[in-house]
Amino acid sequence: MKTQNKKPLLIANWKMNPPSAKEALALAKKVDQGIKNISDVQVVLCPPFVYIPIFHAEKFNFLLGAQNCFWQKQGAFTGEISPAMLKNLGCSHVIIGHSERKNYLSETYEVIRQKVKASLDVGLIPVVCIGEKAQGSPNAKRELELQMQILLADISRTQSSKIVLVYEPEWAISSVKGVQAATPQDCEAAISFMKEVLARKWGEASAKGIHILYGGSVRKENIREFIEKGGADGALVGAASLNAQEFVSLVKESILG
């Protein structure tokens, strides 16, 4: 069984849901009510941009995050949102490099690298997604290491404590047709390797302080296994975070005793 030396971190990625502000606020309040007495888990909710000001005006027990950002502070960049804007609206975290943005919007590793640096520069915690495309690929470790080398290139040892990594195997994302969920063993192998890469870059002590989450079809039924057997320090939760009861149950299941 895993020895838990970090408080589990659960990040809810609502993606492009729900369709109205009324539904978003109602969902947030149900989650908030469900976790109000839980102190052993850190919870971050990442709604669509348009709901962030509404959530910021409320007093919640969870932290507020965003699903993306741009890499410039301001300027002629139609439709983009800067890290500073998110910080000023009360966000503490921002998801960067999610597989859906890579696949649907052609985000490159270089673009993601710039977003990571820009987020850190304003005091946001970047939640950086890393993962291989194909299950069982003989090049999976090389793929993971290459991504980490590029995406973390601008981060110093001192800054390393301000990032969160997500092992997000693209073949296990719940929105992918015909998805096959990863096993805790898949997760453990990948996260162990990621820790080796981090230790080579910043030293073992710094590597141990970094949260590495699992992202990919996480549910209340499997979260404990991914933490206990898979070596994850928490999870980036998609579909399951859109049901308040399911997500609160998932939060409770992540508490190891």
Which residues have a catalytic role annotated?
Answer: 98, 168
Phi, psi of 164 (to 5 degrees): -125, 135
Rounded Cα gap, residues 183 and 69, in angstroms? 31
Rounded Cα gap, residues 180 and 201, in angstroms? 32
User: Which residue shows structure tokens 């206990």?
Assistant: 228
User: Which residue shows structure tokens 């946001």?
Assistant: 124
Question: Cβ contacts of residue 196 below 8 Å, gap of 6+?
Answer: none
Token readout for 69 is 């950002």
Phi, psi of 32 (to 5 degrees): -60, -45
Degrees to nearest 5, angle at CA 47 with 20 and 74: 110
Rounded Cα gap, residues 257 and 255, in angstroms? 6
What type of residue is 155? I
User: Can you say how many angstroms the Cα of residue 130 is from the centroid of all Cα atoms in its chain?
Assistant: 10
Nearest by Cα to 43 from 217, 208, 212, 241 = 241
Token readout for 138 is 């003989």
Rounded Cα gap, residues 64 and 55, in angstroms? 8
